[in-house]
Structure 1
Amino acid sequence: MEEELIEVGLPTAPKRVILLHGLTGTASVIQPVAEYLHKRLGEDYSFILPTAQIIKVKQFKGEPVHAWFDVKNSDFRKQVDVEGIFASSDRIASLIRNEISNGISPKDIFLGGFSQGGVIALATALLEPFAVSGVFALSSYLPLENQLTSQLTEASKDVPIFQAVSLKDEFISQEMSDRASLFLKKRGNPVLVQKYDMRHEIRSRELEGDVAKFDFCRISTSPFSYNLF
């Protein structure tokens, strides 16, 4: 079955943002975030919102949900579904390569994601043999299993990363967030970490931090809050 894919903005826009939803979400769920950013960035940017496939998630007692990879343990550091991460990363990489084949430079492609989507955004960018313009990972983390980290490319060390950390996050621990940022900094990535007094959610303040980090323009301070899992 073809999964939902939503595009926000003009197909002729010179810059692309691939934005990934979290566990149990869809492109429609994270679409308000893309629309919020698009209104502030203008027509130079367009957003591509893919939807994860439906898989059986062990942590949900095998219930089929939209997920970028399986969650086998409430402690996300254990029993990591590395194969699932690779599979979803390959899928997003195909979207990137399609944009490149249409004349978009990797330097004009951004990856962003919330929670599980942030994992895939990070993994995809770090596995590619070229550097995309940047990654923003919201309330997310990076699995540090050797199967994954041993395949990160030299070129991806040039990818700047914005990491938004929720201090009251019910799912992603501070330790997981800190381990990810420390690993990325040690390997040489330019990393900006911002911490917010909020739960596992997306708010306008962190979106504005993201756009500032990646040289997005026309930042607005109008309120935005969206709860996502």
Structure 2
Amino acid sequence: MAEGEHALLESIERETGPAPLWSVLWLHGLGADGSDFVPILPELVRRDWPPMRFVFPHAPVRAVTINNGTRMRAWYDIRDFDLANRADAAGVAESVAQVDALIAREVARGIAPSRIFLAGFSQGGAITLAAGLRRTAPLAGLVGLSTYLPSMHEAAGALAPAATAQPLFMGHGTQDPVVPFAAGEQSATWMRDHGFDVEFHRYPIPHSVCLEEIRDLGDWMSRRIAAA
């Protein structure tokens, strides 16, 4: 393997029909794995959608500082409870490269970037936003649930001009004790202020997803698919 290349992450895949025309990459949260969001598919997928491939990758196992160095699946180390210093930049960059490799595999399998959604929850959502703002070939859309934009004070320097063509769906619980609601709202505002079309929803839930949120996301995805 050449320097700079990344082995593809192991993933769970589900296809809603033969010969998928669209792909969705879904990144789980800290300490979970790719199986975490597979159960939402019956509530998310609409009957009139074209055949889709859902890819649920497993994050690498690494030591997580705030959890006393315990090794678990994580997209990056969490060094501090303070959001401004929470994500280690090297870990974020590594995960962004691994996500880009998964997107490249979907393109190699015949799915154009404009028919690929990138979604994530919590830590996975942070990687979704970090990867999304660097995209030079825009995706069909970005989805960030219960999440925040890491290293926001440096993010403008990484923003690719073409990236803002990607619509963004964000949902956040007003009772979230892990990623405060204000952090999600602030991240949505940053993305909007830097040119992204952001649809932001609030829900009376903790650090989780709810049925209403999945239905709102499905409505948003339906509009993106219909507009393609």
Shared fold, TM over 0.5:
yes
Residue identity opposite 2:89 in structure 1: V
Aligned equivalent of 2:12: 6
Q: What's the CA shift string for 1:138-182, capped at 9, x where partnerless?
A: 111111345543112110011100110110001111221122111
Looking at structure 2, the residues matched to 41 and 115 of structure 1 have their Cα atoms a distance apart, in angstroms, of 29
**Kindly tell me: are residues 81 and 36 of structure 1, through their superposed partners in 2, closer, same or farther at Cα, counting changes over 3 Å?**
same
CA displacement at 1:41 relative to structure 2: 6.2
Aligned pairs, number: 217
Hey, what does 2:59 align to over in structure 1? 52
- Corresponding residue for 2:187? 180
Residue 195 of structure 1 corresponds to: 202
Question: What runs of 5+ residues in structure 2 fail to find an aligned partner?
Answer: 1-6
Instruction: Name 1:90's counterpart in structure 2.
Output: 97
Partner of 1:104: 111
AA aligned opposite 1:5 = S
* Structure 1 range deviating more: 130-139 or 1-10: 1-10
TM-score, normalised relative to structure 1: 0.87
Letter in 1 for 2:68: K
The 1-side partners of 2:10 and 2:104 are apart by 19
CA displacement 1:184-217 (0-9 Å, x = unmatched): 1111100011000111111111111112112269
Gaps of 5+ in 1: 218-229
Structure 1 residue identity aligned to 2:20: A
Conservation of the 8 A alpha-carbon contact between 1:38 and 1:46: no
Give the structure-2-normalised TM-score.
0.88
CA deviation vs aligned residue, 1:61-114 (integer Å, no higher than 9, x gap) = 100000000000122222531111110011010111111122211110001111
Which residue of 2 is the match for residue 227 of structure 1? none
For 2:183, the aligned partner's letter is M
Matched, 1:212 2:215: no
1:11 and 1:28 mapped to 2: Cα distance? 22
Identity across aligned pairs (percent)?
28
Contact 1:19/1:111 (8 A) holds in 2:
yes
CA distance in 2, matches of 1:73, 1:160: 30
What SS does the aligned partner of 2:151 have?
A: coil
Q: Secondary structure at the residue paired with 2:158?
A: coil
How much has 1:39 moved relative to structure 2?
6.4
Give the partner amino acid of 2:136.
P
| Alignment partner of 1:71 is 2:78 | yes
Shift in Å at residue 38 of structure 1? 3.7
Q: Is the 8 A contact 2:85 2:151 kept in 1?
A: no
Measured against aligned partners, the alpha-carbon deviations of 1:107-151 in whole angstroms (never above 9, x if no partner) come to 100011110011111211221211101011111111134554311
Identify the residue that residue 224 of structure 1 maps to in structure 2.
none
Aligned to 1:225: none
1:223 corresponding residue in structure 2 = none
Q: For 2:111, what is the secondary structure of its paired residue?
A: coil
| TM superposition shift of 1:12 | 1.8
Report the secondary structure of 1:201's partner residue: coil
In structure 2, do the counterparts of structure 1 residues 2 and 212 end up closer, same or farther at CA, with 3 Å as the change threshold? closer
Q: Structure 1 44/2 Cα, relative in aligned 2: closer, same or farther at 3 Å?
A: closer
Q: Does the C-alpha gap of structure 1 residues 11 and 55 become closer, same or farther in structure 2, counting only changes over 3 Å?
A: farther
The alpha carbon displacement at 1:33 in A equals: 2.2
Amino acid at match of 2:60: Q
